[in-house]
Amino acid sequence: MIITKNHIGGLIFLCLSIAYGYYAGQIPLLPGDEFEAFHARSLPFTLALLGTLFSIALLVTSRFDPKQKLRLGGHDFALVAQLLVLVMLFAVALDWLGFLVATVLFLIGGYWLLGVRSIKTLFIASVPFAVFLWFALSQLLDIYLAPGKFFSAIFGG
């Protein structure tokens, strides 16, 4: 038996709808709300029901067609994972190193991951861009960009 994209999607949405319905039941109600025509749980319960119905409909109507099989070959998941980790590190760097340094590091990291190896290109395509953007945001548009906890701890402020 071939498990197709529709079957995988249907099963995931079915689980999601059931979990959503369960948590909808945990939404606290105000006293007397249960007698109201519409309360905080009404829409979530309806959505859980609709989600379940559509998921079952997708599972029932999907054919076991080999063309619809989920094929993950040929996709560069490792590189995507590295890029997304880089994005998360950028978030951490924004807190600790501030906008300017975090931007330079993020861009250099991104170019490097995508195959740029020339040191000259890495710096030319990141440092002037980051400095220009930092200047435009903080000096021209007067947007406050925190210096980063690391620099605050060292230099104060």
Interface residues with another protein (CB under 8 A)?
5-6, 8-9, 13, 16-17, 20, 23-24, 27-30, 33, 36-40, 42-44, 47, 50-51, 54-55, 57-58, 61, 70, 72, 74-77, 79-80, 83-84, 87-88, 90-92, 94-95, 103, 106-107, 109-111, 114-116, 121, 125, 129, 137, 141, 143, 146
Tokens for 132, please give them: 């220009």
- Looking at the Cβ atoms of 2 and 79, the one nearer to another protein is 79
- Looking at the Cβ atoms of 80 and 153, the one nearer to another protein is 80
Nearest to 110 by CA among 129, 125, 92: 125
The least CB distance from residue 131 to another protein, in Å, is 14
Q: Is 153 exposed, middle or buried (0-12, 13-18, 19+ CB in 10 A)?
A: exposed
The CA distance from 69 to 2, in Å, is: 7
| 3-state SS class at 4 | strand
Q: Distances from the Cα of 96 to the Cαs of 31, 54, 55, 91, 140, in angstroms?
A: 46, 45, 44, 9, 24
The least CB distance from residue 94 to another protein, in Å, is 6
- Looking at the Cβ atoms of 1 and 26, the one nearer to another protein is 26
